[in-house]
Amino acid sequence: YERGAVVADARIVVGERKRFEMDVGDISFFFKARSVAVIGASTNPIKVGNSVVRSLMSNKNLRIYPINPNASEILGLKAYPSVKSLPEVPDIAIVTVPAEFVLDAVREAAEAGVKGVVIISSGFKEAEVEEGKVREERLREIARKYGIRIVGPNTFGIVSVVGGINASFTPMFSEVKKGRIALVSQSGGICHYIIHKFRDSGFSHILHLGNRCDVDFPDVMRFLREDENTDVVAVYVEGIDNGRGLFEELKRLCSEKKVVVMKSGRSSVADKASVSHTGSMAGDYRVFASAMKQAGAVVVETPTELIDTAIAMEKFEVSGGVAVLTIQAGLGIVAADIIESSGGRLARFGEETVRKLKSLLPPITLRENPVDLSFSGLNLKVFAEVIDTVCRDDDVGLVMFLYAVAPPSWVLPAEVISQIMGRITKPSILGYSSTPENYAEIKEALKGSKTLIFDSVERAAKVAAILSEKRNYF
């Protein structure tokens, strides 16, 4: 059975869709729940059953029902002994009791009429003991028998930022800004890492699938395809065992939304570690990546690339090569190196563009691509003409301007930078290095503009590479 998952991966190409047909169902109610029971709610602040209640409480309009037979009140909310004793049937329940009590809790919730549960408790398939596997199989049976949907087990939960539901053990997630990127992850650690790192970014929903005993990638993709709050879907995958389902649903999702996927397991050790319990073997990574690309997704290799790319895809669509403009040749050269060696494409300027650039710029080192404006960049009239020339070139799909602030006169005011970037008629990325204060000012000035800003040449160039990669895979 363990090895069977390899075949499941191969099904991406071979075909066989029975399991897929069964899997995909409606899960949208999780994201618009108005009443939530927390089974295993606790008065102890270091318990998961306490932090889940705190997470939910960020939304004053939610009806929250802590379930704990030994407490009358939890965090100021009336506690109940069981789901059955609640004044209403809650839309969903969150389960935080120890593994051995989970089956009963889910069964009780299902019998009471709850439509979906999120199981945070661990001690299932991931526990490497027979008992855990058996429990997980039982969970699946309960889901089928009662028609209840289960997220998890072994998940931190789900967060609908736009829906105002933080059904996770992380109260901090209530502070995530609203946006149009959905993050779907097979790892909770990666979600926490991403949210810490991208606290400026906005998300529509954050879902940690955990063990996927019932709700799996295809269900989530179907939901997100129909979700009007989401434009871009960022997916972190470790191992899959329903390759065909993922592929088919991803293909549909890609026809409606922009999708970027990262799968770990590129290296043999990581692959072994990441999918030890689903039995995938080293070497599957390439098959997976090809299939994802064939379905229409952009494939990236690190969590930072995942969200950097999602943010860029939310801002614009790139069709063509990258034109690099800089005032300091070294930055342009480093960016060109990263773009080309990462599989991206620098624009090949047409003859007319090259002729025009040579007439505009003095004989300095770089007047093709990257274009080094050098001190001419300080002549804003020349700069404007260079921008117009480059934007007119048919092969240019993205314009990148790189800038490391240096004196004496290279410190341009924020409104000048805004003007420069605003003049670019194609998707644009600004790589801007300066003091934290000056960077913050420039970032603020560009808010709401179509320019993506980075303080790292490496990250800027990597995103440009990913977006300019040739898309004709098949």
Closer residue to a second copy in complex, CB, 50/160: 50
Binding mask 428-447 for a second copy (x = CB under 8 A): -----xxx------------
Stretch that binds a second copy, among 13-21, 106-114, 170-178, 413-421 (CB under 8 A): 170-178
Neighbours of 13 (CB within 10 A): 13
Among 179, 303, 397, 427, binds a second copy (CB under 8 A): 303
Main-chain dihedrals φ then ψ at residue 88, nearest 5 degrees: -150, 165
Stretch that binds a second copy, among 109-117, 165-173, 244-252, 393-401 (CB under 8 A): 165-173
Neighbour order of strands in the sheet with 396-404: 371-372, 321-326, 396-404, 428-433, 451-454
127 is a site residue for a second copy (CB under 8 A):
yes
107 is a site residue for a second copy (CB under 8 A):
no
Closer residue to a second copy in complex, CB, 25/330: 330
470 is a site residue for a second copy (CB under 8 A):
no
Stretch that binds a second copy, among 67-75, 111-119, 329-337, 441-449 (CB under 8 A): 329-337
Among 43, 75, 101, 126, binds a second copy (CB under 8 A): 126
Return the SS3 of 414. helix
Closer residue to a second copy in complex, CB, 254/445: 445
Stretch that binds a second copy, among 3-11, 26-34, 121-129, 157-165 (CB under 8 A): 121-129
193 is a site residue for a second copy (CB under 8 A):
yes
Closer residue to a second copy in complex, CB, 116/157: 157
273 is a site residue for a second copy (CB under 8 A):
yes
331 is a site residue for a second copy (CB under 8 A):
yes
| E strand spans, 54-115 | 63-67, 73-74, 77-78, 92-95
Exposure string over 118-150, b if 16+ CB within 10 A, otherwise e: bbbbbbbbbbeeeebbebbebbeebbeebebbb
Residues 389-418 within binding reach of a second copy (CB under 8 A):
402, 404-409
What DSSP element (H or E) covers 402?
strand 396-404
Question: What CA–CA distance (Å, rounded) separates 468 from 198?
Answer: 23
What DSSP element (H or E) covers 141?
helix 130-146
Among 160, 166, 174, 186, binds a second copy (CB under 8 A): 186
400 forms beta bridges with: 324, 429
Stretch that binds a second copy, among 85-93, 137-145, 290-298, 328-336 (CB under 8 A): 328-336
CA distances from 209 to 118, 175, 258 (A): 10, 21, 20
Residues 282-301 within binding reach of a second copy (CB under 8 A):
301
Least Å distance, CB 203 to a second copy, is: 16
320 is a site residue for a second copy (CB under 8 A):
no
Residues 218-247 within binding reach of a second copy (CB under 8 A):
236, 238
368 is a site residue for a second copy (CB under 8 A):
yes
Name the nearest CA neighbour of 401 among 352, 114, 419. 419
369 is a site residue for a second copy (CB under 8 A):
yes
Exposure string over 412-435, b if 16+ CB within 10 A, otherwise e: beeeebbebbeebebbbbbbbbbe
Among 134, 362, 394, 413, binds a second copy (CB under 8 A): 362
Least Å distance, CB 170 to a second copy, is: 6
- Total residues found in the chain within this entry: 474
Return the SS3 of 102. helix
Stretch that binds a second copy, among 40-48, 84-92, 226-234, 292-300 (CB under 8 A): 40-48
Neighbour order of strands in the sheet with 35-39: 63-67, 35-39, 92-95, 116-119, 149-151
The one-letter code for the residue type at 367 is R
Neighbours of 448 (CB within 10 A): 7
Return the SS3 of 268. helix
Closer residue to a second copy in complex, CB, 68/110: 68
Among 1, 18, 45, 60, binds a second copy (CB under 8 A): 45
